[in-house]
Amino acid sequence: MATAFEPKIVGFLCRWCSYAGADLAGTNRMKYPSNVSAIRVNCSGRIDPTLVLKALSLGADGVLIAGCHPGDCHYTNGNIKTLRRFKLLQKMLDQYGIDRKRVRLEWVSAAEGEKYAQVVRSMTDEVRTLGPLNWKTKVELAA
Amino acid sequence: MPAKRIGVFICHCGLNIAGTVRVKEVVERASKQPNVVFAVDHKYLCSEPGQTLIRDSVKQQHLDAVVVAACSPAMHETTFKNVVQSAGLNRYSCEIANIREQGSWVHDDSDKATTKAHLTVRQSIEKVRLNEPLQPITVPVTRRVLVIGGGIAGIRAALDVANGGYEVYLVEKSGTIGGRMAQLSETFPTLDCSTCILGPLMVEVYRHPKIKLLRLARVEEVSGYIGNFKVRVHQEPAYVDVAKCNACGECAKVCPAELPNEFDLGLTWRKAIYTPFSQAVPPAYVLDAKNCLGLLPQACGECKKACDEFGTSCINLDAWPQTHELEVGAIIVSTGYELYDATKLTEYGYGIYPDVMTSLEFERMLSASGPTAGEIRRPSDGHVPREIVFIQCAGQREPETALPYCSKICCMYTARHAMMFRHKVPDGEAYVFYMDIRAGGKGYEEFVKRCQEEKGLLYLRGRVAKVYEENNKLIVKGVDTLSGKTVQINADLVVLAVGMIPSSETHDLASKLKASLDANGFFSEAHPKLRPLESPTAGIFLAGAGQAPKDIPDTVAQASGAASKALDLLSSPTLEREPTVAKVIGELCSGCGICIPLCPYTALSLNPKTKVAEVSEALCEGCGTCIASCPSGSLSLRNLTDEQILAMVEAMVAT
Amino acid sequence: MQSYLYFPGCTLRTMARDFDASAKASARALGFELKEMEGWLCCGAVFSNVDDNLMAKAGPNRILSRAKRDGDTLATLCAGCYNVLKRTNLQATHNSPSQQSINAFNEETFNGGVEVVHFLEILRDRISFPNVEKSVKSPLTGLRVGAYYGCLLLRPSGEMKLDDPHRPSIMEDLLTSIGCTPIDYPSRTECCGSYLSVSSTDYAEPLASNIVKSARSCGAQLIAVSCPLCKYNLETSQLRNGGDSTDYYLPVVYFTQLLGLALGLDPQQLELDPRQMKPIHEIQTLRVS
């Protein structure tokens, strides 16, 4: 009997807001599923949409990008650039036939530990329902 | 050079981690990772014995990279980097795996927590494997400070820096320093004479050997970065030799050009050649070339004739503007405030009825050096007003139609104004319409209470709907919410406590400095609690009402604080910056220029000769947004390259 | 001839036929037409503006979505209808869950996009007052008129944006262009009491009579309004104690009736009664003599 599917979600968290918010969730001992592994970047603006697609192609079932609320970016407006790129990325996902719900952009401030926990919980549930992406397998089958 | 001998240290953190994560298992799995030659656990890695363990292991095991799996890097990243450095490795050979705040503390299930801890450690191993050894970027510091704005904030900051031993340029747009405080009659809550406390400070600035005062000057251009700013300042001439002028006033007597006096907010007139106010510093006359009948060609010249004949022959009508190229290490911004345009508050009739005044105009009237030599008179007919209405929160705390915020000082100065009115007009009646009373400073509440209990001074909690004129009186229609009744007062004079807005040059200056402004146009502080004295832009410090409405005690305190920050910056001849900045591989760059406008710090530029992008390492803050935009992959972020990110991703998701 | 899609509203069909007639006649004289929209219904008046009763908003939304079929501009005369329709249109542009419910109920997809204009705006912005002045045949020179705005034309100012809410001038500018002498008086933007005149007469009556007193004491011979309810309140407050037969009585007219007179139209066509015509006859007599 195969084990139940547990999604693997890559998280890109900005150092100044969302990573700190995630830490706060920990300090407050909030509980959330362990499916999201966080990579700390200085700014969500570091995230090139191709990195997201590559992450999915390497085996991720979902990608979470978390940044500061608009207006609060430590680097003035990096998060706005992320937002612009995200909109285009969504169109690319549609073209690839990848469900948009697999890639999320969330604004989490350093004070929003609860929000981070909520995001992880809801995203994990959603991606679990969508099932494994299996990008590599799909590409092989198509070839 | 990828790391070949990686050491992994897993912390128990007492039971914080070990209580959920099976630490021994993580150690075992880590030791099986490629190039991991040493893996060990410890109860408290941040402790003295823990740090010693890491240090000794680096040396004994000849490690070239270290992963510490423990609490969040926000806690001890610096600690462990220092340890690794003290063991002889580059600081960037150390990576932290967060298995506590984002591991053991948030996952209940031991299996899941352990698996995740293992993945997190693997992730950090992949990152540290590819880290470059980096040295902090050292930049020299020009040990001089520029203060923009010569009000009380600028004066205090300049004095503190100069007394601290460094040269200061104080740039002021008008003909005198002193700012708003010079326009005040008294200050609350002590009712000190404003000029008496400000005057000596102004003279001190003027005489200070380390302060160079540039008045009639504006900042034109700012380039460079923290420790190394280049500022171009444009200075208009005064046409009067300060050293020779004795302020006799013979020139003003004969000057034919008359215009409203800004210092008295247009309540009096001045000539084109004038002294800003009687205690102006520098203590000399100034020729306002814009309002003079003409200098090119000379249309009048009467002032010069009078000065040559009766004065000290100190007027030179052939003077030219000067441009100063200043080099400074730190910039303190103290550009102060203006008042909100009361004509926009159409319900009060300011600008329509002459007897409706703003608080600052009333202040000038109270002042002994003001338009009425300190007597309170109606602007319309010069009579002494018997009934006066003060309206607080005029055009403030009104997000739909005017300013959304509170200007902090109006409750206090209105109380003072009402009190002064009662002293000067003993049979007068004053009414203050208020929403709330904000009197939070030292002695403030006591002062306001005194005013509220004063005879002939009535505080009404409510707003004023409308002011209109009837039979030479101003009919003020308001409400007293505490009694629940509408109120009508037939007043002789109405004073509006209008809000403080940032001074008009703020917007322009902010873009020149690349310093951000908040939603209301005031200079933003880097963090309201942790870094209230500095702009997010490195090297720029903030003081006074230009950052947010505040009273004089807070302004002076902030100015001294900003000065101390500047002194801190100047305390060493060089400055170290984080080296995790952007890097361009010139050979790969196609010169497309997409990255250039994205940088919030203008750290990227296109070299006009080589036509490829270049990064100013001193300006780059390492956000990485340019890297994400680069189509050719010639841009990378040191120690957070795409290669590293994807290696980390693979470590997480590959089965 | 330029034609504007027009929403008359209930009262202009009944109690305020004179407002409707004088507006249509003046419009024709100025070279444009008010074309009544298809399938209009009651706007619900101020009761439609409440936030906690979606049903009340169904009506105005239906009006606007029907109007939208024939164009994107809707002209109004009654201040109440103007207020309701303009604000409903603005609210509809935010596709809120409430808006979606209303649309589902109406079986329409209305998300704003109708420019609701008041007759005064057409005169000011599209015809222009100088052009109105050019069309004047018998200027009402010497007639001292107090323009009364009431509440609904101007407030809430952030949404209505017709003119400055405290010191408006659009009606005075119109009155000047037709030769009148507009009278400034303090109460011209104060509330007349609205529907309270029916339910709480004691409360509302002083409001209306203060406005009349204020206009009278500043020298007005006539009050010009743009709302049938304001007209009713201002007139009724004077009718108590036989006030209508005194010399102090201040007639209340619609601004379109004055406009029509100045454009040379017949007082009967404009449905003006002798009492309203009294001040006008006075100034005409003065002119002749």
E strands, B454-553, in order:
457-461, 464-470, 473-480, 485-491, 493-498, 500-502, 540-542
Q: Does domain C2-118 have CATH number 1.20.1050.140?
A: yes
- Of C125, C123, C214, the closest CA to residue C177 belongs to C123
Domains of chain B: 6-135 (3.40.50), 144-228+323-336+505-570 (3.50.50.60), 250-310 (no CATH), 338-501 (3.50.50.60), 581-637 (3.30.70.20)
Q: Return the pLDDT at B60.
A: 96
Domain that holds residue A36: 9-142
Q: Is residue A4 part of a domain?
A: no
The chain-wide mean pLDDT, for chain C, equals: 93
In chain A, the number of structural domains is 1
Q: How confident is the model at residue B564 (pLDDT cuts 50, 70, 90)?
A: very high
Q: Return the pLDDT at B223.
A: 85
Report ipTM (2 d.p.). Answer: 0.95
Decide if B6 contacts B126 (C-beta within 8 A): no
Choice among B225-229, C18-22, C93-97 with the minimum mean pLDDT: C93-97
Per CB-CB distance under 8 Å, the chain B contacts of A5 are none
Per CB-CB distance under 8 Å, the chain A contacts of B644 are none
- Of C163, C135, C4, C146, the closest CA to residue C79 belongs to C163
**Helix or strand holding residue B203 (H, E):** helix B194-207
Choice among A80-84, B521-525, C260-264 with the minimum mean pLDDT: B521-525
> Chain C within 8 Å of B253 (Cβ-Cβ)?
no
> Least CB-CB distance to C186: which of B400, B401, B468?
B468
Q: Return the pLDDT at B552.
A: 96
Phi and psi for B240 in degrees, rounded to 5? -130, 130
Residue B541 region by backbone torsions, left for phi larger than 0, else alpha for psi between -120 and 50, else beta: beta
Tokens of B103: 């591991």
Distance of alpha carbon B94 from alpha carbon B66, whole angstroms:
5
Per CB-CB distance under 8 Å, the chain B contacts of C218 are none
Residue A72, CA atoms < 13 Å, CB-side half-sphere: 16
The mean per-residue pLDDT over the stretch B124-138 comes to 95
The mean per-residue pLDDT over the stretch B596-600 comes to 91
The mean per-residue pLDDT over the stretch B591-608 comes to 91
pLDDT for A1 beyond 50? no
Angstrom CA distances, B505 to B175, B335, B524, B624, stand at: 16, 8, 15, 32
Map tokens 């719900």 to a residue. A101
The mean per-residue pLDDT over the stretch B633-653 comes to 95
pLDDT for C15 beyond 50? yes
The mean per-residue pLDDT over the stretch B437-459 comes to 93
C partners (3+ CB pairs within 8 A) are B
- What is the SS3 assignment for B323? strand
The mean per-residue pLDDT over the stretch B87-111 comes to 96
pLDDT for B250 beyond 60? yes
> Does B401 contact C186 at a Cβ distance shorter than 8 Å?
no
Q: Return the pLDDT at A143.
A: 64
HEC assignment per residue over B388-440: EEEEEEECCCCCCCCCCCCCCCHHHHHHHHHHHHHHHCCCCEEEEEECCCCCC
Decide if B95 contacts B3 (C-beta within 8 A): no
Question: For strand C222-225 and strand C252-254, is the pairing parallel, antiparallel, or unpaired?
Answer: parallel
- Largest Cα–Cα separation, chain B: 98
Based on its alpha-carbon atoms, the radius of gyration of chain A, rounded to whole angstroms, reads 15
pLDDT 10s digits, C141-186: 999 999 999 999 999 999 999 999 999 999 999 999 999 999 999 9
> Least CB-CB distance to C166: which of B346, B470, B475?
B346
Tokens of A21: 């918010």
Distance of alpha carbon B221 from alpha carbon B325, whole angstroms:
9
Choice among B173-177, B220-224, B359-363 with the minimum mean pLDDT: B220-224
- Look up residue C45 and give its DSSP letter: G
Count, in order, helices (H) and strands (E) of chain C.
Answer: 14, 8
Tokens of B535: 């702009």
Tokens of C79: 């201040």
> Does B346 contact C186 at a Cβ distance shorter than 8 Å?
no
E strands, B296-365, in order:
322-328, 330-333, 337-339, 356-358
Interface with A, mutate which of B96, B106, B524, B639 (most A CBs under 10 A): B106
Residue percentage of chain C with pLDDT more than 90: 82
Range(s) within chain C of domains with CATH label 1.20.1050.140: 2-118
Instruction: Output the CA torsion B189→B194→B196→B197 (10° steps).
Output: 70
The mean per-residue pLDDT over the stretch B571-582 comes to 92
The mean per-residue pLDDT over the stretch B305-328 comes to 95
CATH number at residue A69: 3.40.50
E strands, B71-203, in order:
94-98, 137-140, 144-148, 167-172, 186-187, 192-193
- Number of other residues whose CB lies within 10 A of the CB of residue B321: 11
pLDDT for B133 beyond 90? yes
- Number of other residues whose CB lies within 10 A of the CB of residue B612: 18
The mean per-residue pLDDT over the stretch C86-93 comes to 94
**CATH number for the C137-288 domain, one of 3.40.50.11810, 3.40.50.2000, 3.10.580.10, 3.30.413.10?**
3.40.50.11810
CA C166 to chain B, closest CA, distance in angstroms equals: 5
> Chain C within 8 Å of B400 (Cβ-Cβ)?
yes
Tokens of B621: 């803050």
> Does A38 contact B102 at a Cβ distance shorter than 8 Å?
yes
Decide if B552 contacts B560 (C-beta within 8 A): no
Per CB-CB distance under 8 Å, the chain C contacts of B402 are none
The chain-wide mean pLDDT, for chain B, equals: 94
Tokens of A105: 């952009």
Q: How confident is the model at residue B9 (pLDDT cuts 50, 70, 90)?
A: very high
- Residue B449 is which amino acid? K
Map tokens 């409430």 to a residue. C98
pLDDT for B468 beyond 80? yes
The CA-CA-CA angle for residues B367, B159, B548, to 5°, reads 65
Q: How confident is the model at residue B66 (pLDDT cuts 50, 70, 90)?
A: very high
pLDDT for A15 beyond 70? yes
Choice among B34-43, B506-515, C163-172 with the minimum mean pLDDT: B506-515
Instruction: Output the CA torsion C138→C139→C142→C148 (10° steps).
Output: 120
Per CB-CB distance under 8 Å, the chain C contacts of B470 are 186
- Look up residue C49 and give its DSSP letter: G
Decide if C118 contacts C23 (C-beta within 8 A): no
- Residue C22 is which amino acid? S
Q: How confident is the model at residue C241 (pLDDT cuts 50, 70, 90)?
A: low
Residue B400, CA atoms < 13 Å, CB-side half-sphere: 5
E strands, C37-182, in order:
73-76, 115-118, 144-147, 181-182
- Of A63, A64, A78, A67, the closest CA to residue A21 belongs to A67
> Chain B within 8 Å of A54 (Cβ-Cβ)?
yes
Interface with B, mutate which of A10, A13, A23, A32 (most B CBs under 10 A): A23
The CA-CA-CA angle for residues C274, C280, C284, to 5°, reads 125
> Does B101 contact A48 at a Cβ distance shorter than 8 Å?
no
Q: How confident is the model at residue B655 (pLDDT cuts 50, 70, 90)?
A: low
Residue percentage of chain B with pLDDT more than 70: 100
Residue of A nearest to B636 (CA): A46
Dihedral sign, Cα of residue C134, residue C136, residue C140, residue C141: positive
- What is the SS3 assignment for C156? coil
pLDDT 10s digits, B371-385: 999 999 999 999 999
